[in-house]
């Protein structure tokens, strides 16, 4: 078991007086089952059900009451009814809409039983749930390993301690940058990281990526409503890794598919958290409200999977300046993945900023809301980069803060836009993107 940040959340959930049943969401193979099995060791009594198995699923399909279900499960697992808490883990809960519906009743009638469910593709399963227990369950998302979890898995607790220092010390910069580039190549899927650590090479990772990518395709296709939708989903999965920048749904991936057809398939993949749609905002004042009528960008579940599917991992090995890659958006993709992994809410999504006017288009890679500010963030894979779009944002934002992520050491610059608007630019290393909220807080509070 490699340490996951969500483990700390589970410990707090266990001790909470207002504890509700907890659903852990996320794509397949991100480590949900492993995480809960490890957490189960903190209980004397731990019952694990897997609804992929018929003998576990039929308990919820054939029993009509919470009492019957609990008595059946406890008897089968030789678990006594005591005052000590029992953890009941219902894995692959998407396989049984009846089990999803029953969560509230299990909790209401047996509050002493701690209940965790886990599943992928839950949005599809919820369509079959007539009365989902809204407000009566908590939901969180487990993402692939972020850079901090990668450092822990590879035994570099010393580097993690340096990364937690804001700003990071100069002497740790080069080593952290080197480790981050290794992480950028392989990504954060647990099975990939496990193999990388055991074999100490990336040579044998191709088969793992291939199996993962194929399993995602097979999973989502099961939920397609007809053969045409299955073909479109397959086409999008095959071509999405080669898309850069903002996308147009009509004719996606050089196809003849209409906007509505591609949109429905894309939303299915988005619900499955395999390929997400990231929409822009057009305002510079809080709150961050994505404009769903404008062209989005694509965000694949994991950068390592993206690198493999796009066929560029071999180019990345040994490169220490991501700017020299043919795909200049890899670091941008990875930074967004790092930021997203810091939030376990199912509704959180990153956003970027656009200004679309005649002869005056602009696009800022990422925006982040801190207090009463929306902070513009540019991601530059090399040591330098043009800031034309960021300057346009600053000139209308009404505050003086901006951030640039690049390969350099931390530095705060006093700058001016071409129009003469003064602002402060925080240059921070892109390997610190897991600490982006903390860096922005430090930046504003100290300036």
Q: Same domain, yes or no, for 255 and 380?
A: yes
Q: What is the mean pLDDT of residues 340-354?
A: 94
Residue 326 pLDDT: 46
Structure tokens at 430: 């892109």
What does the pLDDT look like over 133-163, one tens digit per residue? Answer: 667 899 999 999 999 999 999 999 999 999 9
- Round to whole Å and give the CA distance between 124 and 139: 16
Q: Same domain, yes or no, for 118 and 210?
A: no
Residue 78, sorted as left (phi over 0), alpha (psi -120 to 50) or beta, turns out to be: left
* CB proximity list for 263: less than 8 A, separation 6 or greater: 249
User: Of 261, 278, 141, 274, whose CA–CA distance to 219 is shortest?
Assistant: 274
Residue finishing a domain among 101, 119, 141: 141
- Asked if 239 contacts 253 with a C-beta cutoff of 8 angstroms, the reply is yes
Q: Same domain, yes or no, for 340 and 236?
A: yes
- Round to whole Å and give the CA distance between 97 and 127: 9
Please check whether residue 149 lies inside any domain of the structure. no
What does the pLDDT look like over 265-282, one tens digit per residue? Answer: 888 888 888 999 999 999
- Round to whole Å and give the CA distance between 98 and 57: 9
Residue finishing a domain among 122, 141, 160: 141
Q: Same domain, yes or no, for 132 and 211?
A: no
Please check whether residue 170 lies inside any domain of the structure. no
- pLDDT at residue 392 is higher than 60: yes
Angle at 391 between CA 388 and CA 394, to 5 degrees: 160
- pLDDT at residue 9 is higher than 70: yes
Structure tokens at 298: 């694509």
- pLDDT at residue 444 is higher than 90: yes
Domain that holds residue 321: 203-445
CA distances from 362 to 285, 356, 390 (A): 17, 7, 8
Please check whether residue 198 lies inside any domain of the structure. no
Please check whether residue 157 lies inside any domain of the structure. no
Residue 303 pLDDT: 93
Cβ-in-10-Å burial (0-12, 13-18, 19+) of 155 comes to exposed
Higher pLDDT, 35 or 63: 35
CA distances from 287 to 43, 296, 389 (A): 41, 19, 20
Structure tokens at 22: 């907890």
Please check whether residue 152 lies inside any domain of the structure. no
Helix (H) or strand (E) holding 373: strand 373-379
What does the pLDDT look like over 287-313, one tens digit per residue? Answer: 999 999 999 999 999 999 999 988 887
CB atoms within 10 A of CB 108: 12
Residue finishing a domain among 141, 165, 187: 141
**What's the number of domains the chain is made of?**
2
Instruction: For tokens 């994991």, name the residue.
Output: 302
**Range 268-297 burial, b when 16+ CB lie within 10 A, else e:** bbbbbbbbbbbbbbeebeeeeebeeeeebb
DSSP string, 131-154: T--TTTSEEEEPPSP-HHHHHHHT
Q: Same domain, yes or no, for 209 and 137?
A: no
- pLDDT at residue 369 is higher than 80: yes
Percent of the chain with pLDDT over 70: 95
Q: For the packed helices 227-239 and 259-271, what is the interaxial angle rounded to 10 degrees?
A: 70
Give the CATH number, domain containing residue 126. 3.40.50.300
Q: Same domain, yes or no, for 263 and 376?
A: yes
Please check whether residue 168 lies inside any domain of the structure. no
Please check whether residue 382 lies inside any domain of the structure. yes
Q: Same domain, yes or no, for 123 and 211?
A: no
Q: What is the mean pLDDT of residues 24-41?
A: 96
Please check whether residue 194 lies inside any domain of the structure. no
The residue ranges of DSSP E strands in 200-337, in sequence order, are 275-278, 280-281, 297-300
Q: Same domain, yes or no, for 372 and 227?
A: yes
Residue 421 pLDDT: 96
Q: Same domain, yes or no, for 123 and 11?
A: yes
- pLDDT at residue 197 is higher than 60: yes
- pLDDT at residue 315 is higher than 90: no
DSSP string, 6-40: HHHHHHHHHH-TT---EEEE--TTSSHHHHHHHHG
What does the pLDDT look like over 61-97, one tens digit per residue? Answer: 998 899 999 999 999 999 999 889 999 999 999 999 8
Structure tokens at 54: 């018929």
Least confident of 110-114, 196-200, 378-382, 390-394: 378-382
Q: Same domain, yes or no, for 119 and 253?
A: no
Q: What is the mean pLDDT of residues 38-46?
A: 97
The reply to whether the predicted model has a pTM over 0.85 is: yes
Q: Same domain, yes or no, for 239 and 382?
A: yes
Residue 326, sorted as left (phi over 0), alpha (psi -120 to 50) or beta, turns out to be: alpha
Q: Same domain, yes or no, for 331 and 404?
A: yes
- Asked if 390 contacts 376 with a C-beta cutoff of 8 angstroms, the reply is yes
């Amino acid at each position: 078991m490699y340490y996951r940040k969500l483990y700390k959340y589970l410990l707090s959930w266990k001790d909470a007086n207002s504890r509700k049943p907890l659903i852990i969401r996320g794509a397949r193979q991100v480590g949900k089952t492993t995480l809960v099995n490890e957490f189960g060791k903190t209980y004397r009594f731990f019952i694990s059900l897997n609804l992929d198995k018929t003998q576990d699923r039929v308990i919820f399909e054939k029993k009509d009451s919470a009492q019957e279900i609990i008595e059946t499960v406890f008897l089968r697992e030789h678990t006594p009814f005591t005052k000590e808490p029992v953890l009941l883990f219902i894995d692959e809960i998407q396989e049984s809409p009846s089990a999803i519906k029953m969560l509230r009743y299990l909790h209401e009638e047996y509050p002493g039983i701690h209940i965790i469910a886990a599943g992928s593709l839950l949005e599809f399963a919820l369509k079959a749930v007539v009365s989902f227990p809204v407000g009566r369950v908590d939901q969180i998302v487990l993402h692939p390993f972020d850079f901090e979890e990668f450092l822990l898995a590879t035994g570099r607790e010393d580097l993690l301690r340096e990364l937690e220092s804001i700003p990071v010390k100069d002497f740790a910069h080069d080593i952290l940058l080197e480790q981050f580039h290794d992480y950028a190549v392989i990504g954060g899927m647990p099975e990939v990281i496990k193999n990388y650590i055991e074999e100490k090479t990336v040579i044998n990772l191709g088969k793992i990526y291939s199996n993962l990518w194929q399993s995602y395709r097979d999973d989502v296709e099961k939920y397609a409503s007809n053969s045409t939708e299955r073909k479109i989903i397959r086409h999008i999965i095959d071509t999405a890794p080669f898309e850069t920048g903002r996308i147009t749904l009509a004719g996606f991936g050089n196809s003849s598919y209409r906007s509505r057809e591609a949109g429905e398939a894309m939303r299915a993949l988005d619900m499955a958290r395999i390929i997400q749609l990231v929409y822009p905002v057009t305002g510079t004042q809080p709150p961050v409200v994505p404009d769903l009528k404008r062209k989005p960008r694509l965000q694949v579940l994991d950068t390592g999977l993206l690198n493999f599917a796009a066929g560029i991992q071999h180019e990345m090995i040994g490169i220490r300046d991501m700017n020299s890659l043919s795909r200049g958006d890899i670091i941008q993709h990875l930074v967004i993945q790092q930021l997203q992994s810091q939030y376990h809410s199912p509704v959180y999504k990153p956003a970027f900023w656009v200004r679309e006017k005649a002869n005056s288009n602009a696009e800022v890679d990422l925006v982040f809301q801190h207090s009463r500010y929306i902070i513009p963030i540019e991601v530059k894979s090399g040591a330098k980069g043009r800031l034309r779009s960021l300057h346009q944002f600053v000139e209308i934002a009404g505050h003086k803060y901006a951030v640039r992520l690049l390969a350099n050491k931390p530095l705060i610059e006093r700058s001016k836009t071409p129009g003469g608007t003064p602002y402060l630019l925080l240059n921070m290393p892109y390997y610190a993107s897991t600490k982006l909220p903390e860096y922005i807080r430090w930046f504003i509070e100290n300036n």
